[in-house]
Amino acid sequence: MQMWVIMLTALAAFGIASFSGKMLIPLLRRLRFIRQENGTADASGKNNLTGGGALLDTGTFTACALGYIVMRYISSQLVYETDMTLFTAGQAAVLIASAAGFYIDRLESAGKKGGHGYSIGLMVYAVMSAVYLLVMFIDKGIGEHCTLGIPFYGNIKCGIWYYPVMLALMILTADIAGSEGSESSVTAISSAVMAAAGILILCTMKKYEESIFFAAVSGAFMGFLVWGFPPEKTFLGKTGHYFSGMAAALLTAWTGEPVIIFILLLPQLIERISEAVLGAMGKTAPLSRYLSERYKKAYTVLMFFMTAVLSSLAGTAVFMKGGQ
């Protein structure tokens, strides 16, 4: 697998996501994607747009199609182990979850009851994860794939229990990665770095089509930062957070290495824990918002970027040395 195809896909996703903002952000403005919530205003107090996660969809799926076509064209002799049914089902799960978030953002921006609650996100993650696993069961049944990898221990054969256990793990990772309380720029930078680490892990596992998809995810999140880096012109909203959550759930399913994914998700896990702790103390939560109110937002983004890099390096190292 030539790595330049991976790089091409990531660069294409970055370019498409960043360029499409010129068209999508004015469109979101015309659709009145404005939400009166703490954390969705710039320093002047003027409310900004949510629904910017649409940039992720545009960049990811366009670049993924391009990268996949190029990969197939230049690597016709390569033996692929990917099941295209599951590959397509995974992409569909991410896209539909993102579309559900976009719809909820639209309802909330119009002042209608769109489902603010935490339970709505969990329901979206659970339904899409269950549908994906159902497709897996129909396609593969119960076989060698029904194992979970534990670093430095080996693979645990789960049999039929693989499906309920994997469902719980996918919902958990989606919930961690898709924390809606986080600043959009923090979510974007953490997700981009996590996806980059996922590319290396997937390539090592010879899951080449999947690595193409996560190259597009990483590039698209970086493209979003052109518009979402402080001072923000748009925010991810539920559109982007649901996208991020389902992408993490998909990485869990494709690697079968939940412990590794939890290490990669350390910045998002910090956000989830801090949301509970700081909220109980009556302070602004989660940590990214708490810090953003006291320091320049760019410093907060840099801190989470460094945390994401360190956690991704640690997760990748554990994967490589953990007896894969």
Q: What are the backbone angles phi and psi of residue 36, rounded to the nearest 5°?
A: -85, 75
Residues in contact with 131: Cβ distance below 8 Å, sequence separation at least 6, in sequence order: 89, 93
The answer to whether residue 42 scores a pLDDT higher than 50 is: no
Give the tens place of pLDDT for each residue, 61-102: 999 999 988 887 777 555 455 578 888 999 999 999 999 999
Closest CA to 194 of 208, 169, 176: 176
Helix (H, G, I), strand (E, B) or coil at 49: strand
Q: Which band of pLDDT confidence, cut at 50, 70 and 90, is reported for residue 261?
A: very high
CB 64 within 8 A of CB 75: no
Given this model, what pLDDT does residue 41 score?
44
Indicate the burial class of 143 (C-beta count within 10 angstroms; 0-12, 13-18, 19 or more): exposed
Q: Which band of pLDDT confidence, cut at 50, 70 and 90, is reported for residue 206?
A: confident
d(CA 169, CA 73): 35
Buried/exposed 275-298: b ≥16 CB within 10 Å, e otherwise: beebeeeeebbbbbbbbbeeeebe
Distances (CA, A) of 19 to 60, 206, 217: 13, 32, 16
Axis crossing angle, helix 237-255 with helix 54-74, rounded to the nearest 10: 40
Across the range 152-178, mean pLDDT stands at 93
DSSP string across 135-165: HHHHHH-SSTT-EEEETTTEEEE-GGGHHHH
CB 195 within 8 A of CB 221: yes
The answer to whether residue 272 scores a pLDDT higher than 50 is: yes
Given this model, what pLDDT does residue 79 score?
46
Closest CA to 181 of 266, 117, 260, 104: 117
Distances (CA, A) of 189 to 110, 164, 318: 29, 31, 22
Comparing 39-43, 201-205, 240-244, which segment has the lowest mean pLDDT?
39-43
Across the range 51-57, mean pLDDT stands at 90
The answer to whether residue 29 scores a pLDDT higher than 50 is: yes
Q: Which band of pLDDT confidence, cut at 50, 70 and 90, is reported for residue 44?
A: very low
Which single residue is written with the structure tokens 């690595």? 211
Across the range 168-192, mean pLDDT stands at 92
Across the range 285-292, mean pLDDT stands at 89
| Amino acid in the structure at residue 33 | F
Q: Which band of pLDDT confidence, cut at 50, 70 and 90, is reported for residue 213?
A: very high
Across the range 249-264, mean pLDDT stands at 94
Indicate the burial class of 186 (C-beta count within 10 angstroms; 0-12, 13-18, 19 or more): buried
Across the range 105-110, mean pLDDT stands at 79
d(CA 229, CA 115): 27
Across the range 46-54, mean pLDDT stands at 76
Which single residue is written with the structure tokens 């990485």? 251
Eight-state DSSP code of residue 26: H
Residue spans per domain, the chain: 3-321
The answer to whether residue 35 scores a pLDDT higher than 50 is: yes
Closest CA to 157 of 167, 147, 149, 165: 147
Tokens of 20: 């499409």
Residue 69: how many other CB atoms lie within 10 Å? 11
Rg of the chain over Cα atoms, rounded to whole angstroms, equals: 19
The answer to whether residue 118 scores a pLDDT higher than 70 is: yes
Residue 179: how many other CB atoms lie within 10 Å? 25
